[in-house]
Structure 1
């Protein structure tokens, strides 16, 4: 392991995951090169010890092909390149499919069906169909795949001929923000406010099921920005509940990372009323089976309990830190129970703290080290075989 050098590539999104995995890789003892775009880099520099990493930045006016050429050149001095999920146009995927650096490659997958061609659907956007064969070419060029949680790994194990590993690109912080011992139950719904991802009707129906005299016991924050026409409908509905006296906060634009983290850290519970399925290109993804949700990472980082629909396959590591509900009436009953600030909330908080301990920085660094060493040792073993 001594002197091992690795690269992390993510050009335009997932800066929270990239920042966390950079720190995990550094804690694991590796020399780390970050390949990213200017916007992501500017945000990361506010959160990372910049001198601890080598930075190779894609200029805003630089073509993807030229940037990947620079990445490939730098990879000659690296042992492993970790690719965050790849997105882009069909020409972008042509470039990714031709991308073949000399080091080992690990690819992180967030939408499993879109990569393995399962649960396909019709879409009139024909260019989406061209991405699947290009993704499958790319899969043949990588040495291993990672997913965020065990249920997705179990799903992919029989569908891919290469190793599938679990690597959650998050580590927990022991937050300095204090959670209130009394007052209204603080419920936060993190994530962009869009109807294609979350069923906000479950939340509003749960509020409707609660007696009006209970509204002072609950405070709800839709912690995300509006993204499309469905967002406007959701925010208008939230405004109507506000007028009726409910404590319901919404946001109009981008939420600063520090504000986002602080709000979650001060929450009593994170609510994610997920849609069970989500269209993604030519495939349909199933939350908890082929696709995860960012709320799990939010829960880990801040040791905050979470509430998800009962059909969602929660990873075993979350234990009592995750509670579930079947419908809006069960969600209303859950709000009422947790608002008592009794044993049920204490159990959930203790479970969330145990989950956070599992995902502590040193533990995550050891998991990442095991992944890197396994992939690189396979490379060394294969080199010996080839020489024979």
Structure 2
């Protein structure tokens, strides 16, 4: 049986997705070659024995020169998987690749919708300055919209992180079904299911920077306020952990609002800077469940995006990785093969009611994460990737 030769390219910033992909592609029948920068590879922090060829670009060498030096090696691969392309569109659009190309899409609206439909200006001093800067540097200076479109017309296949996003793109943009594939970012190998044994002490975590652009933390503050009478009457203690930097003015307001409610029944743990990995891991292990207050509308540079529809929330991958059930904003569409890990809430009152229900009935402990996340087990994810690569290769050889 001929091995599938796959090149993975990453010169932007998705180090964790690159690391996960390398674990998934570590299987018989697939040869892997990685092209990336020294900086990104340090972030990947690969701890295992290499099974792949690795080509690292040093800071002193230009991307054009690096690719020119290694183009022959790159073209020895059957499939070239672009883990991210978020810059250097001109370079990528002019690169002569002979294998089948697959581009991971992290922001579908940006990449498939015309600028006139995706740019939604915000008339605040910060956004006027930010958008003007982007237009000057990228839109006009680098002509990025033109070369991105040129690149998209050349790419053979597109990979999306979830089936909901794949369906949304094929239904709303001119992307043929035969060019759209679902290749999730995350997987799990050994389930992490430790939770505290004291039913009177509950620990809930919210992962991510305390930033109003992506998450609605006010709904969490209001829900905690609604919970306080219940916590006092039941003599239970709730610890809320915000696992992300809370160093913005918005973050400070949220923290202050939560601090005002601290008592024998409620405590808040937060971080003004980077969360040390050891502390992050400890808090995750001790968490009973997560809250995911994701806003649906968000932005990528100057473009409007929609969580769950055109891009995935990183918190979804956290649920997969850590095997923790979550309460999530009801507006977020969930893939069928993962939704048993979630319960949706509509507003702060509903969120408070759901938290009480989960505490009282210990519903979250009844969720069998191994069954609910079976599609994301490493061996199943390896099968998904292998089958997809085989289909892509077969289609390439018949055209």
Structure-2-length-normalised TM-score: 0.86
* Other-structure match for 2:183: 167
Q: Secondary structure at the match of 1:22?
A: helix
Contact 1:187 1:268 in 2 (8 A): yes
Contact 1:106 1:146 in 2 (8 A): yes
Q: Secondary structure at the match of 2:29?
A: coil
* Other-structure match for 1:10: 10
Number of aligned residue pairs: give it.
375
Provide closer, same or farther for how the CA distance between residues 211 and 38 of structure 1 changes in structure 2, counting only shifts above 3 A: same
Q: Secondary structure at the match of 1:250?
A: strand
Shift in Å, 1:95: 1.8
* Other-structure match for 2:370: 353
Shift in Å, 1:284: 1.4
- Inter-partner Cα distance in structure 2 for 1:181 and 1:243: 22
Shift in Å, 1:50: 3.4
Contact 1:270 1:306 in 2 (8 A): yes
Moved more, 358-367 or 301-310: 301-310
CA offset digits 1:215-246 (Å, max 9, x no partner) = 74322111112475434443444444447963
* Other-structure match for 2:327: 307
Provide closer, same or farther for how the CA distance between residues 262 and 32 of structure 1 changes in structure 2, counting only shifts above 3 A: farther
Provide closer, same or farther for how the CA distance between residues 256 and 78 of structure 1 changes in structure 2, counting only shifts above 3 A: farther
Shift in Å, 1:5: 1.6
* Other-structure match for 2:95: 99
Select which of 130, 134, 156 maps to 2:147.
134
Shift in Å, 1:180: 1.5
Task: List gaps (5 residues or longer) in structure 1.
Answer: 383-388
Select which of 158, 165, 174 maps to 1:152.
165
* Other-structure match for 2:209: 192
Contact 1:175 1:265 in 2 (8 A): no
Contact 1:218 1:339 in 2 (8 A): no
What is the 5 A alignment of 1:325-344? 325-340=345-360, 342=361, 344=363
Contact 1:80 1:103 in 2 (8 A): yes
- Inter-partner Cα distance in structure 2 for 1:122 and 1:171: 34
- Inter-partner Cα distance in structure 1 for 2:285 and 2:70: 37
* Other-structure match for 1:72: 71
* Other-structure match for 2:110: 114
Contact 1:108 1:146 in 2 (8 A): yes
Task: List gaps (5 residues or longer) in structure 2.
Answer: 122-130
Q: Secondary structure at the match of 2:339?
A: helix
* Other-structure match for 1:51: 50
What is the 5 A alignment of 1:249-264? 249-257=269-277, 259-264=279-284
Q: Secondary structure at the match of 2:103?
A: strand
Provide closer, same or farther for how the CA distance between residues 364 and 121 of structure 1 changes in structure 2, counting only shifts above 3 A: same
> What is the RMSD computed on CA atoms of the aligned residues?
2.4
Shift in Å, 1:71: 4.9
Q: Secondary structure at the match of 1:35?
A: strand
- Inter-partner Cα distance in structure 1 for 2:390 and 2:4: 9
Contact 2:19 2:46 in 1 (8 A): no
What is the 5 A alignment of 1:180-259? 180-182=196-198, 183-212=200-229, 214=231, 216-226=236-246, 228-242=248-262, 246-257=266-277, 259=279
Q: Secondary structure at the match of 1:224?
A: strand
Provide closer, same or farther for how the CA distance between residues 114 and 244 of structure 1 changes in structure 2, counting only shifts above 3 A: farther
Provide closer, same or farther for how the CA distance between residues 284 and 244 of structure 1 changes in structure 2, counting only shifts above 3 A: farther
Provide closer, same or farther for how the CA distance between residues 371 and 252 of structure 1 changes in structure 2, counting only shifts above 3 A: same
- Inter-partner Cα distance in structure 2 for 1:277 and 1:171: 26
Shift in Å, 1:279: 2.0
Contact 1:12 1:39 in 2 (8 A): no
Shift in Å, 1:207: 0.8
Shift in Å, 1:302: 1.9
